[in-house]
């Protein structure tokens, strides 16, 4: 089959669900992944044809996309902060908003990283996108990454190997006091960062089906009556386990910016900043331990 014809079929079947621009993106991701054919090659060779088995692979992908399965899970990978990451149903697909958090940390600490060995802890690491990107861009840093999910940590370890960085992974639950004692053995940190679960159940109607039906709820949702449960536990941990002048960074629920900021105020952090993402939503919070 000629690839251009296959592309038209993708549009006929998927445009109503995703829109033309996103369907084009899906198709080119598939051609690169399954055929190792770049987008420019399709433009230069409009009559480029593929074999029957290759065509069948595309139709299988098409069926999954019609069921709103995430393209990243279908292809088994994605890109984050310019780096390759493996992903599967056990980890959240990394978001552009989280890239903004990583960029904030790197810009704030690249000079410090040159003169001293930073010690960083990423709580709720998932795919490892935050910890690995920090380790890659702050090469002198000693990086630790924690998650409650054994399956998520398997993926994170693969990603650390894929990106050639050395990270200490810890399987633990930050809500468990025993976890705190285990981490106490690692002494104190210059930076603690977390993108914990923060979507309230009442916000589920805002979540797209491809996320709601596929990505791990353990990493997404919190109860409506205690939505800041992870932020409280991590802030309390940070009070005890950050070095003086160490910094705490959060990705947050855009609807709970003031409430999350108040946790840091109550814990007597200084230089607290509530920052917006590129879409203008309250998304990042940082504070410095006195």
User: From residue 85, how far is each of 81, 135, 209 by CA, in Å?
Assistant: 10, 14, 23
State the Cα–Cα distance between residues 260 and 265, nearest whole angstrom.
9
CATH code given to domain 89-288: 3.40.50.150
Residue 289 contacts residue 238 (beta carbons within 8 Å): yes
**C-beta neighbour count of 194 within 10 angstroms:** 26
Strand partners, 287: 248
Instruction: For residue range 181-240, list pLDDT tens digits in order.
Output: 667 666 799 999 999 999 999 999 899 888 999 999 999 999 999 999 999 999 999 999
pLDDT of 287 reads 98
State the Cα–Cα distance between residues 246 and 219, nearest whole angstrom.
26
Residue 123 contacts residue 146 (beta carbons within 8 Å): yes
Averaged pLDDT, groups of 10, the chain, 290 residues long? 95 96 96 93 91 97 96 96 97 96 94 84 98 96 96 98 97 85 75 96 90 92 96 96 96 97 98 96 97
Virtual CA dihedral for 180, 183, 187, 193, nearest 10 degrees? Answer: -90
pLDDT of 50 reads 95
């Amino acid at each position: 089959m000629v690839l251009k014809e296959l592309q038209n079929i993708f549009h006929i079947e998927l445009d109503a669900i995703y829109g033309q621009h996103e369907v084009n993106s899906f198709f080119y991701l598939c051609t690169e992944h399954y055929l190792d054919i770049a987008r420019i090659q399709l433009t230069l060779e409009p009559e480029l044809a593929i074999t029957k088995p290759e065509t069948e692979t595309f139709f299988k992908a098409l069926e999954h996309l019609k069921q709103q399965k995430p393209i990243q899970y279908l292809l088994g990978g994605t890109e984050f902060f310019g780096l390759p990451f493996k992903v599967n149903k056990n980890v959240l697909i990394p978001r552009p908003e989280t890239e903004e958090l990583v960029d904030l940390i790197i810009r704030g600490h690249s000079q410090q990283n040159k003169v001293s060995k930073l010690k960083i802890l990423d709580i709720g690491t998932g795919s490892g996108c935050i910890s690995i990107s920090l380790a890659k861009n702050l090469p002198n840093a000693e990086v630790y990454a924690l998650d409650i999910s054994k399956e998520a940590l398997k993926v994170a370890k693969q990603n650390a190997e894929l990106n050639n960085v050395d990270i200490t992974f810890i399987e633990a639950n930050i809500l468990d006091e025993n976890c705190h004692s285990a981490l106490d053995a690692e002494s104190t940190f210059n930076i603690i960062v977390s993108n914990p679960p923060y979507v309230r159940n009442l916000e589920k109607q805002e979540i797209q089906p491809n996320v709601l039906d596929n990505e791990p709820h353990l990493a997404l949702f919190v109860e409506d009556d205690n939505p800041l449960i992870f932020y409280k536990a991590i802030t309390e941990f940070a009070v005890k386990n950050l070095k003086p002048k160490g910094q705490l960074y959060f990705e947050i629920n855009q609807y709970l910016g003031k409430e999350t900021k108040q946790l840091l105020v109550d814990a007597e952090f200084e230089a607290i900043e509530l920052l917006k993402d590129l879409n203008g939503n309250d998304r990042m919070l940082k504070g410095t331990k006195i």
